[in-house]
Structure 1
Amino acid sequence: MKLSTPRYTFCLISQLTFMFCDLIFNCVSLFPKSRDGLLVLFIFQDLFLILSITTMLMTFFTTYLFQAGLVEVLIRKFRAAGSVIMAYVAASIILHAVWLLEKWGDPESVSTPMLIVLFTLQRCLSPWYYFFYKRAALRVSDPRFYEDIDWINQQLQSH
């Protein structure tokens, strides 16, 4: 099955849009003073993270490798990206939960050391997430994932 250019273009633009939205949400998350504003911001950020992962998985599911049951080749090729993406999503969700729990009880509270560590971890993971996510989105467009049987055989034999 060959991936059509308009469909892939739509997926790639969607993925880059979701990634850009996450970047914007990371930038503006320091500004809301009300806990309701923070809650809405975090809900949208987490929603865009889930949509970006869903879109990435949809592109994986359309590959010949996946449809032929050769998932181990996809996993091997995208293991680093998957690990970084999952770590970033987990760090973001944990940060949002802790931040909201802390601010919900006392909106004027000063950040705790745990919140500072989680914030720093999430912000340090974000450039890695953006790099690996964009790289995976571009790499999955390789036509070999959709039609090149010789390349697939080489991948299976090399492992």
Structure 2
Amino acid sequence: MKLSTPRYTCCLFFQILFMLCDLLFNCLSLFPRTRDGLLVIFIFQDLFLILSITTMLMTFFSTYLFQAGLVEVLIRKFRAAAAVCVAYVAASVTLHTVWLLEKWTEHDSISTPMLIFLFTVQRCLSPCYYFFYKRAALRISDPRFYEDIDWINQQLQTH
């Protein structure tokens, strides 16, 4: 049985769109010459990160498991994706804050070791974030999360 509701298709479309926007802003953040341009890019990137996490949470909240109070099954199935998403958002916000603070104090400053470290961590986490986020978005479409009582009972008995 395949879940093909228009609502889920719309959510999946926006999840992929928000993920692509984040990738685009990661690329664009290397090019602005002014600190105001950098600020605008970072605001939009953080906005799309918040929207992507919110959309993912909405799909979790709409599952039968969540509505029946069986949140531990969802947590068990998606804890890796949640951990990577939280780490990526934290790394992105930290990088944006340090980068903007550095650009605001000295406009033509050369990057500090701290900024280079944060940049490297954020860029190394981004492929993991894209992989786990897309994987979670596709896995949550499994119809068993929405209606299969036998599968849910089996999941509860195994753990």
Q: Which residue in the other structure is 2:22 paired with?
A: 22
The answer to whether the aligner puts 1:142 opposite 2:153 as a matched pair is no
- Separation (CA, whole Å) in 1 of partners of 2:157 and 2:117: 44
Measured on the aligned residues, the alpha-carbon RMSD in Å equals 1.1
Residue correspondences, number: 158
Query: What percent identity do the matched residue pairs reach?
Result: 82
Q: What is the CA-CA distance between 1:107 and the residue it aligns to?
A: 1.1
How far apart are the structure 1 equivalents of 2:94 and 2:154?
Answer: 41
Q: What are structure 2's unaligned runs of at least 5 residues? A: none
1:110-159 C-alpha deviation (Å, 9 max, x unpaired): 00000000000000000000000000000000000000000000100111
CA distance in structure 1 between the aligned counterparts of 2:130 and 2:107, rounded to whole angstroms = 31
Amino acid corresponding to residue 136 of structure 1 in structure 2: A
Partners of 2:93 and 2:154 in 1: how far apart?
39
Matched residue type, 2:5: T
Structure 1: where are the runs of 5+ without partners?
A: none
Alignment correspondent of 2:82: 82
Q: Superposition pairs for residues 60-71 of structure 1, below 5 Å? A: 60-71=60-71
Shift of 1:36: 0.3
For 1:16 and 1:4, locate their aligned partners in 2 and report how far apart those are by CA, in whole Å: 17
Q: What's the TM-score once normalised by structure 2's chain length?
A: 0.98
Partner in structure 2 of residue 41 of structure 1: 41
By how many angstroms is 1:4 displaced?
A: 5.7
